[in-house]
Structure 1
């Protein structure tokens, strides 16, 4: 039991620092553009390239882990992450920034889908949901941690040291992974068709509904916080420090993930999912009625709490429904999640904040309808 605690701790910490690198560029675009003499727009494109190759990594490494083993992919993925993260520090022009950041994104995409599938296989059923919830909470916290580390290190030591620091962290995690993670037997045959796996997944009605809901979860979270930032800055003159405090207050809601296991044990995955969707919808409706900075800070807590419930409940459903193609199913989940997240800033920048709230309310009402259909499909035995 003590060893499983170490495994869980390492998975959670690794997830936190892997996801943190998704956000490291956001506060240092100006520093990078000044250093290598490119426009801020081109520096921003470096972040988009990272996301694109990260998504490719998510689709690649989950199925690969079913053929060579979960531990091998996590360990070698971390080694690759050390090298590629260090390379980002050596970016000297636009092309090198894009190449190194793309390689880093691909390497870091090796962790999330494999870690989720590994959790289903290594932990007893009664502990799976809690571990999944804590890993996902780490992904939420990473949005703040990544920007805080990046801006702080850049302020004192220069932007290059951000990636030296993360490479050092990945080195420690790599060493820990070598000795702490137990190896599991590989049950997937080498000649099993990857396309056949994905074909079975997309023909499963319950999984398709899960992916529809998944697409909107991180999209809504990212759009919500981007929208808040733009609205408070334009309408109330809020500075970055104020926005940071509001984001940090909202993350209190992530603590609900500690109780997700209890929710699932008592009510089941589907009811927990529906409760999270209803909580998100209710929070957004109250926020639409009054959009003062204080109320935004307060209502962001239940909204983040709802996201903390949705992540582990939906991935628990995907893992169970994916069965023998679990690695592929979770890879597709991770890819769908990230694709939705990449659209969040675009939607937030296009819509006024009240209209954004109406759109998000509509999205979650639609998700509730999908969740009710998921209950029917799941009980009918589509798995």
Structure 2
């Protein structure tokens, strides 16, 4: 019975282990001690095999004490490592401040940010003020105020994301939606200050489009408008000519083609002479011209609805899809590439 497991043997083994840890002078020695006293085949576990020979009460007492000893040894090992780390830091070499620093690795701007920055810079240079709009809009601002009545097809559920239970909004939750265009930014601007205005806005818009190479349920638009006493289509054309030449080159030409938008009258599609083939016809343009944006003179009914006399004030407006411009400018075949976070794609673009 001399080899019978007892508390005294456990305490003796603990004292032996603590002494060995105190005498350890290297991490390798400490790791060996950890395996010896706390590993799966440690001396403590070997000793505990003798529990089978003890009574139930002795098993409980010695088993509990064995767990306490393991915890005490773990704490001692951790204290040794903490003290060793402190010594290493205190005794380590001081940094040489005369050595050249390690250059920071900077990421790249997203291609859509690059295009947006270039476009906004052009308009801000022409005196347009940047205004941020809300992605959650009321049905009234998104449609009614912009000449889209209750029976307009854009209000259909299959075209628009309507919202419910929106917290923190005073409007009826059933009349809130994710904006389908950035044009609603006109409303607060024209309501809260008198003309003249020159405003540009950029942001995400949402539509229930089927996903394919040219469509997503969300994309980005840039919308701009100007209101003054003498605004005309000539002002609109000169503004867009400056924009096109700044963005695509000094020889770029534009042309207007009649179109329809509910918030402008007259309305037009603006096409840019293909800057890839110089109008000679290529796989991108097909006919020498690239459709780029929609534009027109602000509808008199909208000006009147917002409290401005359409006989005194006139304005022009235009809007373009950011992804559309980027895809044409860089020959990108699929709109989904912008959102896949593939570094092989994103690293190709720079300012």
**TM-score (normalised: structure 2):** 0.26
**TM-score (normalised: structure 1):** 0.25
Q: Name the larger-Rg structure.
A: 2
Q: Which has the higher contact order (CA 8 A, sep 6+)?
A: 1
More helix by share: 1
